[in-house]
């Protein structure tokens, strides 16, 4: 297990207005090969960055933004600035709102989240396949994938991508779990800037590693492998091969 260090330089967030921006690279995949740094980033919603962030954004060389939010969330908050040379792709993996299946206090938070992720993997196949296909195409790199908090929809896409690259589930889950600290920073910012806002429920703030472990394990149980699920979703064999060629050094 290569481990994930939140203080490591690639995980440093250069954007003051974001709370969960980080490089997905650095983990060990197939045959001991390392996932390339500076080719795929993950983030919470990019609508909060502005012209003061242009230099930092440009320095990363990001070409493609993959926005996984619902259309209503995009309409409510806006999108990443239309910087020159930046391609913006909005993809909404269809999924049921969590309010329709609320979390019951005292029950397993990891189990609840894993079930929500499984629901999205079942109904959002086309969107997930499109997102992974975009990441697989080296022309789009560096790319950043984001949703609202950067932990659930983004965590699924990044988890599936890393699994295809041969990263161990424990390492994928450790990277996913970094979002808990980010969510705490986001929650503190909400409390300071919008004191009238209601406190967010636990599932919106926590990213227990066990949730990602359960999700990946049970997806394999259902489809034989993560690649099997993605092929079912519509990702081609060529795209899966390109993903490995492009993101493993």
Over residues 135-144, the pLDDT tens digits come to: 999 999 999 9
Rounded Cα–Cα distance for residues 135 and 209 (Å): 23
- Asked if residues 115 and 217 have their Cβ atoms less than 8 Å apart, the reply is no
pLDDT at 186: 86
The separation between CA 31 and the C-alpha centre of its own chain, rounded to angstroms, equals 24
Q: How many Å separate Cα 88 from the centre of its chain? A: 16
Q: Is the pLDDT of residue 9 over 70?
A: no
- Residue 195: alpha-carbon gap to chain centroid: 28
Which tokens sit at 216?
């990946």
Find out whether the peptide bond into 164 is cis, omega within 30 degrees of 0: no
pLDDT above 70 coverage of the chain, percent: 96
The pTM score is 0.93
How many helices and strands, by DSSP H and E, does the chain display? 9, 5
Token representation of residue 174: 């450790």
Confidence class for position 241, pLDDT limits 50, 70, 90: very high
pLDDT tens digit sequence for 156-190? 999 999 999 999 999 999 999 999 999 998 888 88
Does residue 6 have a pLDDT over 50?
no
Q: Are 77 and 45 spatial neighbours (Cβ–Cβ below 8 Å)?
A: yes
Question: How many Å apart are CA 95 and CA 70, to the nearest integer?
Answer: 9
Q: Say if residue 200's pLDDT is above 90.
A: no
């Amino acid at each position: 297990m290569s481990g994930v260090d939140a203080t490591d330089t690639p995980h440093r967030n250069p954007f003051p207005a974001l709370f969960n921006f980080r490089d997905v690279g650095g983990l060990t995949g197939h045959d001991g090969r390392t996932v390339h740094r500076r080719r795929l980033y993950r983030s919470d919603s990019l609508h909060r960055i502005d012209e003061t962030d242009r230099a930092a954004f440009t320095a990363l060389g990001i070409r493609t933004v993959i926005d996984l939010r619902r259309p209503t969330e995009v309409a409510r908050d806006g999108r990443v600035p239309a910087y020159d040379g930046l391609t913006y792709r909005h993809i909404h993996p269809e999924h049921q709102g969590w309010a329709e299946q609320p979390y019951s206090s005292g029950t397993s938070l990891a189990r609840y989240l894993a079930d929500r992720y499984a629901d999205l993997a079942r109904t959002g196949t086309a969107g997930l396949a499109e997102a992974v296909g975009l990441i697989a195409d080296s022309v789009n790199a560096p790319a950043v994938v984001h949703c609202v908090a950067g932990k659930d929809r983004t965590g699924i896409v990044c988890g599936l991508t890393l699994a295809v690259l041969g990263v161990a589930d424990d390492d994928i889950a450790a990277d996913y779990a970094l979002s808990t600290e980010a969510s705490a920073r986001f929650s503190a910012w909400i409390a300071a800037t919008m004191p009238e806002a209601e406190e967010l429920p636990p599932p919106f703030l926590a990213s227990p590693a066990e949730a990602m472990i359960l999700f990946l394990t049970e997806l394999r149980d259902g489809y034989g492998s993560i690649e099997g699920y993605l092929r079912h979703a519509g990702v081609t064999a060529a795209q899966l091969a390109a993903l490995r060629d492009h993101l493993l050094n």
